[in-house]
Chain A
Amino acid sequence: MSVNRAQRVDLEVVADLIPPQSRVLDVGSGDGLLLELLQETKLVDGRGLELSQRGVNECVARGLSVIQGDADKDLEFYPDKGFDFVVLSQTLQATRNPKLVLDELLRIGNRAIVSFPNFGHWRVRLSLFVHGRMPVNDDLPYSWYDTPNIHFCTIRDFVNLCDELGATVEKATALDGNGQKIGLSMPWWFWNFFGQQAVFLLKR
């Protein structure tokens, strides 16, 4: 939705979490990169929901099952546990009501997979601490006034939200600036400092 193709190192991590032939709903499917990856490598029964009409038309022209819709408004139309996995990749921070959206993901999917840029990353902290400015870099390319990303959070913020919603974190992965997974044994504070992106597998 708001992060470009070259930066989507999280897609492989998401795909690794999904067993073959699952029923998958990709919320914020963009130009269909993840859905296509999942259909080709995992033979999933994949559906998508995407805000931008251009993205939707592109997806459908490529044979993907995608509809135009808004994660903030349209998730309510999906039945309980209608999918094995509901994926929200790099979209949470752009929703108006992330808590409600996450709640809906956990209702619709047996499991939810959420990936997001970590606002606790050291470069973000550095930008604020040293320069006193909102961070603008390759990963967060927008200025504060034109960004679609209105609800940034840190990894620790997200873990708290999961607690509030009664969601269990079954698996979590943090990726550093090079897209490398950060060692599992590291504590949360380490992830929160060095993880540029995070991918969570949740269940409720």
Chain B
Amino acid sequence: MAILRAQKTNNEADQPSSPVLRFGADKPLKLDAGTLLSPFQIAYQTYGTLNDARSNAILVCHALTGDQHVANTNPVTGKPGWWEVLIGPGRIIDTNRFFVICSNVIGGCLGSTGPASINPATGKPYGLDLPVITIRDMVRAQLMLIDHFGIEKLFSVLGGSMGGMQVLQWASSYPERVFSALPIATGARHSSQNIAFHEVGRQAVMADPDWHGGKYFEHGKRPEKGLAVARMAAHITYLSEAALHRKFGRNLQDRDALTFGFDADFQIESYLRHQGMTFVDRFDANSYLYMTRSMDYFDLAADHGGRLADAFAGTKTRFCLVSFTSDWLFPTEESRSVVHALNAAGASVSFVEIETDRGHDAFLLDEPELFAAINGFIASAARARGLSA
């Protein structure tokens, strides 16, 4: 069973159900690690139609364990797209009006080149032979995809969490290619505490004997236990104490009394175990290492002599930042420091903090105030861009 599932993930990594753009030896991807990735491929989904002026394109950047299936049924899980509440025909991001692009990031495991992809040099999955990928590398690859579509300037780039980091990187690296930017529940760098949580997750994966130094496919194994523990720890950081207590309290799971053992006595334990178990069915363990590392390495100010405002000097991009009151992974202060930097750079910026107890994951949920802010921002940006309603 483990081998079968391993096989399945491997297939979606190499032969995804999404369209794929392949770059040969003539078009390598320059990596921050100092090497070139070649050949490589990007798996992506698009929704809607690109207009003649190619001015209605919106790039959606996915989060740590997200993928390109933002507004269609996910081929691995069979569940709705991860942002279908926001994106689709007649939705806030209306695909009857906008051309929406979402690609699997480099280092991911749903079809873009990542550690589960076959290394053409060896005929085996890359594993840890893939260089460490940064947020900037991901964005560089996305730029090549956007160039492929002949899109001079994206109408908007949006995303939450790691997706928000990509949005900030886009706006900083290619300001002339981004008309408006919507970074949600994110920051210009990963905090020490966040790196700490990621390290716990990585150590859990690497401590699993089935990990085999990253070569688990070759052993017909997958470090499911380690990856599940990593996901459990991370999942806690996506919620809030208040929401957990509201949802689970100290309620017992299918029992009337404590068992004086180490079964999942409490509902929260059972819930977390379920989260861990379902995650390993859809995600590659090595890819998890790469994704977490890319966030850890992200520090936009450090790339500009420690002054964040310099990352946005002279920008004409319109920004809207959103944070959530109960998000302790990317607290409001992280967004606010970006806002201050944008102010200092004289940028056009809106900033909304939304009151909710749903924690970091609130950006993926049906949050009316979030939708109202996105709607207002997109509508006014569309007017400024001359896009008819």
Chain B residues contacting A78 (CB-CB under 8 Å) are 343-344
Chain B residues contacting A56 (CB-CB under 8 Å) are 351-353
**Given A63-B377, A67-B339, A79-B344, A47 and B372 touching (CB < 8 A)?**
no
Mask, A77-93, CB within 8 Å of B = 1, is 11100100000000000
**Given A53-B353, A67-B339, A68-B351, A61 and B346 touching (CB < 8 A)?**
no
Give the residue of A53, A67, A77, A79 whose beta carbon is less than 8 angstroms from that of B350. Answer: A67
Chain A residues contacting B375 (CB-CB under 8 Å) are 61
Among B350, B351, B377, which residue has the most Cβ atoms of chain A within 10 A?
B350
Chain A residues contacting B318 (CB-CB under 8 Å) are 65
**Given A63-B376, A63-B380, A77 and B343 touching (CB < 8 A)?**
yes
- Residue B369, interface by CB 8 Å: yes
Chain A residues contacting B383 (CB-CB under 8 Å) are 63
B73, chain A: closest CB distance, angstroms: 31
Closest-by-CB residue of A relative to B345 is A79
Q: Are B340 and A65 in contact (CB under 8 A)?
A: no
Chain B residues contacting A69 (CB-CB under 8 Å) are 339, 351
Q: Are B340 and A62 in contact (CB under 8 A)?
A: no
The size of the chain B interface, using a CB distance under 8 A, is 26
- Residue A103, interface by CB 8 Å: no
Q: Are A57 and B346 in contact (CB under 8 A)?
A: no
Mask, B350-366, CB within 8 Å of A = 1, is 11111100000000000
A-B contact count (CB 8 A): 65
A residues 9-56 in Cβ contact with B at 8 Å: 45, 47, 53, 56
- Residue A66, interface by CB 8 Å: yes
Q: Are A67 and B349 in contact (CB under 8 A)?
A: yes
Chain A residues contacting B320 (CB-CB under 8 Å) are 60
- Report the bound CA distance from A66 to B354 in whole Å: 14
- Report the bound CA distance from A1 to B345 in whole Å: 26
Q: Are A57 and B351 in contact (CB under 8 A)?
A: no
Q: Are A64 and B350 in contact (CB under 8 A)?
A: yes
Q: Are B340 and A47 in contact (CB under 8 A)?
A: no
> Can you give 21 A-B contacts (C-beta < 8 A)?
A47-B349, A53-B352, A53-B355, A56-B351, A56-B352, A56-B353, A57-B372, A59-B350, A60-B320, A60-B376, A61-B372, A61-B375, A63-B376, A63-B380, A63-B383, A65-B349, A67-B339, A69-B351, A77-B341, A77-B344, A78-B343
- Report the bound CA distance from A79 to B344 in whole Å: 5
- Report the bound CA distance from A113 to B344 in whole Å: 21
- Residue A170, interface by CB 8 Å: no
- Residue A157, interface by CB 8 Å: no
Closest-by-CB residue of B relative to A83 is B346
- Report the bound CA distance from A40 to B297 in whole Å: 44
- Residue B379, interface by CB 8 Å: yes
- Residue B7, interface by CB 8 Å: no
Q: Are A68 and B353 in contact (CB under 8 A)?
A: yes
**Closest CB pairs A-B (n = 10):** A63-B380, A67-B351, A61-B376, A61-B372, A77-B340, A77-B343, A60-B350, A63-B376, A60-B373, A82-B346
Closest-by-CB residue of A relative to B379 is A63
B323, chain A: closest CB distance, angstroms: 9
- Residue B49, interface by CB 8 Å: no
Q: Are A66 and B350 in contact (CB under 8 A)?
A: yes
Q: Are A57 and B354 in contact (CB under 8 A)?
A: yes
Closest-by-CB residue of A relative to B318 is A65
B148, chain A: closest CB distance, angstroms: 32
- Report the bound CA distance from A102 to B377 in whole Å: 30
- Residue B203, interface by CB 8 Å: no
B residues 207-254 in Cβ contact with A at 8 Å: none
A101, chain B: closest CB distance, angstroms: 16
Chain A residues contacting B349 (CB-CB under 8 Å) are 47, 65, 67
Chain A residues contacting B344 (CB-CB under 8 Å) are 77-79
B6, chain A: closest CB distance, angstroms: 46
Closest-by-CB residue of A relative to B383 is A63
- Report the bound CA distance from A56 to B380 in whole Å: 15
- Residue B348, interface by CB 8 Å: yes
Chain A residues contacting B354 (CB-CB under 8 Å) are 57
B380, chain A: closest CB distance, angstroms: 3
**Given A63-B379, A77-B343, A57 and B373 touching (CB < 8 A)?**
yes
A175, chain B: closest CB distance, angstroms: 31
Mask, B273-289, CB within 8 Å of A = 1, is 00000000000000000
Chain A residues contacting B345 (CB-CB under 8 Å) are 79
Closest-by-CB residue of A relative to B322 is A60
Chain B residues contacting A57 (CB-CB under 8 Å) are 352, 354, 369, 372-373
Closest-by-CB residue of B relative to A82 is B346
Chain A residues contacting B339 (CB-CB under 8 Å) are 67, 69
B94, chain A: closest CB distance, angstroms: 16
Q: Are A60 and B340 in contact (CB under 8 A)?
A: no
Among A45, A60, A78, which residue has the most Cβ atoms of chain B within 10 A?
A60
- Report the bound CA distance from A65 to B181 in whole Å: 13
B residues 306-345 in Cβ contact with A at 8 Å: 318, 320, 339-341, 343-345
- Report the bound CA distance from A197 to B87 in whole Å: 48
A32, chain B: closest CB distance, angstroms: 10
Chain B residues contacting A66 (CB-CB under 8 Å) are 350-351
Chain B residues contacting A77 (CB-CB under 8 Å) are 340-341, 343-344
Chain B residues contacting A67 (CB-CB under 8 Å) are 339, 343, 349-351
Closest-by-CB residue of A relative to B354 is A57
Mask, B168-208, CB within 8 Å of A = 1, is 00000000000000000000000000000000000000000
